[in-house]
Structure 1
Amino acid sequence: MRVIVTIAILLVFRSAIAQPTTSGGYESQVLSAGQSFMHPGILHSKGDLERLKMAVANKENPIYSGYEIFIQNPASQFTYKMQGPMKMVGRNPTVGQSAYDSDANAAHQNAIMWAITGDRRYADKAIEIINTWSSTLKSVTGKDAVLMAGLGPFKMINAAEILRYTNAGWQEGDIEKTEKHFKTVLYPVLKNFAPFANGNWDAAAIKTVMAIAVFCNDRSMFENALRYYINGTGNGSLMHYIINEEGQIQESGRDQAHTQLGIGLLAECCAIAWNQGLNLYAYDNNRLLKGFEYVAKFNLGNEVPFTEWLDRTGKYHHLKISQESRGNLRAVYEQVYNHYVNQMGVSAPYTQQAAEKLRPEGPGKPGADHPGYGTLYFSNSKRNVAIPSCPAQPAGVIATSAGKAIKLQWIESIGASDYTIKRSIHMEGSYKIIARNIQSPVYVDGHVQPGTNYFYIITASNTKGESENSYETAICAGLPVRWKQQDIGNLHLKGKTSFDGKVFTIEDAGLAIDSNSDRGHFTYQPITGDAEIIARFVPQTSSQFSRMGLMMREGLDDNSAFVSILIYPGKTSQIETPDWRVKLVTENDQEMKRDTSPVFLSLHEPSVTFGRLTGYVWLRLQRKGNNFKGSISDNGKAWTFLPDLAMPLKKALFTGLSVCSGMPKPTSICFDNVSINKKF
């Protein structure tokens, strides 16, 4: 099985800032650089809220049946009594989770009641909840902080989005404080997602980052979340969570509760993207629907195929599908059924059966895991798609290079008939059109010069006009001048390195760096004499078994002499929390094999939290004659030195980045700020 180690592409984003408004309309906010969001535009669009209001007024089913369930919930009352606020909330250990989640439910549901009834008492209650928490909550803590910040707060953000754009009377100053709260308290917990965990963690982080981005009119944040959804390194990105064409889920062997949680969260991401003019639902030939059909079929009592699966962290290995919680359907099916079947006319028999069995869908239990109430929120019998005046700009552009060609893929814009590809050799430079009338969201640029960095933007068109430019995406055709790459050791599949002008991306099929028989991928330059190499590890890695660092080696065969400064996971009693360490390593490091050597540095905050590499780590390896120095830093300025190592190596060495997965599955490693210096 191939092991892929990815050093994530650093996206080049332009600043996009919008001025908030309390005018109460449904108009979009125009950002700098021509980027825009539609508002309200998280789970509920202008059309959604108008449809709900009209259907409830006319007692139209099935929406009205959903409303009758909705109004019975205590969180839907303007008389709701707040359980918070608190200065700190957290999970594992749990601090204030139920209080926050309950208040978040009430904020969202009161905002919906305001939109449906026009009764300002509901708006006032939702505003009270949001303002109180935004002015009080200062930190989200605990080993499971990502889940704490990724689940309940999603409802709080949706409430804020509705209130801001429906003339609810929310004051400008309070809106600004809420924006700051979302971006400074919630977003820092979620910004790197959760590649170290089961996929529902990633998915929770993705949807809430998308929601914050829309509310705060932050296009770069939005793009980052979209690109992680389709190409992220953790278990929760689309292709890693729905693992095959049959629709099997990464957590299918764990239990059915978390499996439904994860696909429900991914579906909510699609709803947000749809409200911003992007058809994320359709990505990879409706892959999301394949996952829903698989899960619904099994939980309705049918049998499904199952493939033995080891996840991307290396911690969760499932041999058979789990029967735990089988048949306990969660309130996640109406949204997906109504989109694919009622709007798009696509068959989804098992998702439909699950939706019908739950109808009218109730609250998203437990706590605030799901929005729930899908019969009310998402029922729509009309099989049409409203086409905007012109398509939204393409988003989630992913560039990959094979040296002689560059492939671009992106999320299709709703209503687009074709796309135009533009290219430059300068960041934010003068762009030239290189292709027109591209019919699908894929393009291969075969006219590239190896070693050259290229920048791309894409527009979408239909008969009503052309979109704004997509965000700029950079990629190098092959590697920069002087850089080369090589598999080290006996690998059954070749590794690969690519570069985007800032960050190297390495795919690797290796398992070890620290033994007589190396197996990994090496990206290097030939250097003669004294030199140093510096690079920064960028969080996070998915595998808890990865080893990565800087290396100087005599040759490219598996038993060549080398010196490396290496980040590696020291063994502990808990596989979830390894003791991440750094040390100087040679090609015959028996001490490391025994993992008992005292000559290492354990990483701590801000680089490591709860055994996870969540912060930056700067690495530096220097050679002077036969003396090698290694040092680390968390800021690139103040360095901590390891004990020197004397090693008689040849004058000419291969110097670069070495990476191995440490397990038979794909993982992810990130480095930037890579430099090799002869004078230091």
Structure 2
Amino acid sequence: MLLGTACGTDADAPAAVEQPRSVAPDTFRHPGVLVGGAQLAAVRRRVAAGEEPWASAYRAMGDSPYADLDYTPHPARIVACASNAGTQACVSEREDAIAAYTHALMWSISGRAAHAEKAVEIMDAWSKTVKEHTRDDADLQTAWSGSSWARAAEIVHAGYPAWGGPEVQRFKWMLRKAYLPAVSAEVADYNGNWELAMTDAAIGMAVFLEDRTVFEESVRRFRARVPAYFYLSSDGALPKPPPGGTIDTADELATYWFGQRTYADGIGQETCRNFMHIGYSLAATAHIAETAWHQGLDLYREEAERIRAALEFHARYQLGETAPKWLCGGKVERTMGPDVEVALNHLEGRMGMKLPQTAKLAASQRPGGTDDLFVAWETLTHASNPTPA
């Protein structure tokens, strides 16, 4: 939209000033947090027909403890998560959120109302109880748990009318008061997987809450952090500094990148830390873009080459290729989880890009399960499932 457009022939009239374009949808689409309704319908058809890898992925999900109809939630009033030393409440919260999402998927695919009821039971137990997250890892804890809560709530609320009224409003209040403040915190100089996971949770909650302001802030953070986390040679000789932070010299960036001083297309800020955290960041990046895509905003296309390069770079070393000496001193920690299905599905299935190493890695991990943090059942939901929104 243009404001202040000059009229007539007045040479002194102000030039047109382009205002920031709104990126939030006028109307939110539901279900539309990570998984869309058309995708869920495609999964139902494939599972019913016994097609692979979806049938095996569905069986694996159904055999997991998260899908047990006797699953018991363990809500806590205060979730205190210190760095590397959280309380049992930290583990219980993450597991309960994944269980709620698992039962939501089980209900959507099988049609068994008992699974929807169990998802509601878990979500209601936490919304009645939790008030606060504290200690060092509060922002990351709320990111991991909040992303799963939003996915579960979105699927159930979109199609299970028995969950409504005050229970849904209480759950929305829980997200606003006990989760959104933490995932909106400023963590500029932290390792980038924090802000990407936090943004993943925030955009999911934004869709469920139909909050255009939170959605737009999530998009802003994605656009700032992804280019600062995954390098492309077009960025220049050095990676982009973390947005809003204090790290900007060559030496500071090398320290922040865990000693790495040679930068190649696709390398990430935590590559030389371990591939586990790279996997978290690849997954979160794809989750954010996928949720935005279901809401009519194509963030994938903005960073398609960067995401493709990052996937292919790490996939080949995760698959066993020897790391050269310039990369992390020749030693990489191959600990990536089931983190590539969502991005692979879009770049290869919707955009027609070629990602041979990533496709090989995804096939070797199928059926992908869960990392017990915030990635769950993505072979089932996204493997070769480019169904349009």
Deviation (angstroms), 1:132: 1.1
- 1:335 aligns with 342
SS in 1 for 2:97: helix
Greater relative CO, 1 or 2 (CA 8 Å, sep 6+): 2
The correspondence of residues 103-142 of structure 1 with structure 2, limited to 5 A, is 103-142=96-135
SS in 1 for 2:169: helix
SS in 2 for 1:147: helix
8 Å contact from structure 1 (residues 254, 322) kept in 2: no
Match of 1:281 among 300, 321, 324: 300
- Counterparts of 1:151 and 1:74, CA distance in 2: 19
8 Å contact from structure 1 (residues 207, 266) kept in 2: yes
- Counterparts of 2:86 and 2:173, CA distance in 1: 25
- 1:70 aligns with 61
Deviation (angstroms), 1:13: 10
Cα gap change, 1:381/1:48 in structure 2, threshold over 3 Å: closer, same or farther?
closer
Match of 2:381 among 377, 382, 385: 377
Cα gap change, 1:322/1:115 in structure 2, threshold over 3 Å: closer, same or farther?
same
Deviation (angstroms), 1:288: 1.2
Q: TM-score, normalised by structure 1?
A: 0.47
1:170 aligns with 2:158: no
Cα gap change, 1:381/1:142 in structure 2, threshold over 3 Å: closer, same or farther?
closer
8 Å contact from structure 2 (residues 104, 156) kept in 1: yes
1:89 aligns with 2:98: no
- 2:177 aligns with 184
Higher Cα Rg, which structure: 1
1:79 aligns with 2:70: yes
Q: Root-mean-square deviation (CA), in Å?
A: 2.3
The correspondence of residues 487-502 of structure 1 with structure 2, limited to 5 A, is none
Deviation (angstroms), 1:171: 2.2
- Counterparts of 1:340 and 1:114, CA distance in 2: 29
Deviation (angstroms), 1:322: 4.7
8 Å contact from structure 2 (residues 304, 347) kept in 1: no
Match of 2:332 among 323, 329, 337: 323
8 Å contact from structure 1 (residues 76, 113) kept in 2: yes
- Counterparts of 2:351 and 2:324, CA distance in 1: 27
8 Å contact from structure 1 (residues 210, 222) kept in 2: yes
Q: Which runs of 5+ in 1 are unaligned?
A: 1-10, 15-30, 232-236, 309-318, 389-680
SS in 1 for 2:344: helix
SS in 1 for 2:33: coil
Cα gap change, 1:13/1:100 in structure 2, threshold over 3 Å: closer, same or farther?
farther
- Counterparts of 2:270 and 2:331, CA distance in 1: 9
Q: Which amino acid aligns with 1:197?
A: Y
- 1:239 aligns with 227
Deviation (angstroms), 1:141: 0.8
Match of 1:352 among 344, 354, 359: 359
- Counterparts of 2:331 and 2:214, CA distance in 1: 36
SS in 1 for 2:277: helix
Match of 1:54 among 41, 45, 48: 45
SS in 2 for 1:140: strand
- 1:433 aligns with none
Cα gap change, 1:244/1:320 in structure 2, threshold over 3 Å: closer, same or farther?
farther
Deviation (angstroms), 1:101: 1.2
Q: Which amino acid aligns with 2:231?
A: I
- 1:301 aligns with 320
- 1:210 aligns with 203
- Counterparts of 2:321 and 2:194, CA distance in 1: 27
SS in 2 for 1:64: helix
- 1:621 aligns with none
8 Å contact from structure 1 (residues 102, 368) kept in 2: yes
Cα gap change, 1:35/1:306 in structure 2, threshold over 3 Å: closer, same or farther?
farther
Q: Which amino acid aligns with 2:98?
A: N
Cα gap change, 1:63/1:193 in structure 2, threshold over 3 Å: closer, same or farther?
farther
- Counterparts of 2:216 and 2:39, CA distance in 1: 24
- Counterparts of 2:105 and 2:41, CA distance in 1: 11
- Counterparts of 2:139 and 2:381, CA distance in 1: 26
Deviation (angstroms), 1:306: 8.2
Q: Which runs of 5+ in 2 are unaligned?
A: 1-18, 234-264
Q: Deviations over 1:146-170 (max 9, x none)?
A: 1110012211111111111012410
- Counterparts of 1:13 and 1:274, CA distance in 2: 17
- 1:368 aligns with 373
- Counterparts of 1:266 and 1:303, CA distance in 2: 26
Q: TM-score, normalised by structure 2?
A: 0.81
- 2:36 aligns with 45
8 Å contact from structure 2 (residues 42, 385) kept in 1: no
- Counterparts of 1:150 and 1:323, CA distance in 2: 26
Q: Deviations over 1:257-312 (max 9, x none)?
A: 1111111111111111111122212213431121111111111122467878xxxx
Structure with more strand by fraction: 1
1:263 aligns with 2:251: no
Deviation (angstroms), 1:99: 0.9
- 2:142 aligns with 149
- Counterparts of 2:354 and 2:315, CA distance in 1: 14
SS in 2 for 1:221: helix
SS in 1 for 2:159: coil
- Counterparts of 1:45 and 1:355, CA distance in 2: 21
Cα gap change, 1:143/1:80 in structure 2, threshold over 3 Å: closer, same or farther?
same
8 Å contact from structure 2 (residues 98, 148) kept in 1: yes
Match of 1:100 among 70, 93, 104: 93
Deviation (angstroms), 1:343: 2.7
Cα gap change, 1:270/1:304 in structure 2, threshold over 3 Å: closer, same or farther?
farther
Q: Deviations over 1:211-238 (max 9, x none)?
A: 110010001110011011112xxxxx11
- 2:242 aligns with none
Q: Which amino acid aligns with 2:229?
A: Y
Q: Deviations over 1:473-502 (max 9, x none)?
A: xxxxxxxxxxxxxxxxxxxxxxxxxxxxxx
- Counterparts of 1:305 and 1:339, CA distance in 2: 30
Cα gap change, 1:53/1:193 in structure 2, threshold over 3 Å: closer, same or farther?
farther
Match of 2:223 among 212, 230, 252: 230
Cα gap change, 1:270/1:12 in structure 2, threshold over 3 Å: closer, same or farther?
closer
Q: Which amino acid aligns with 2:93?
A: Y
Cα gap change, 1:12/1:218 in structure 2, threshold over 3 Å: closer, same or farther?
farther
- Counterparts of 1:167 and 1:369, CA distance in 2: 23
SS in 2 for 1:136: coil
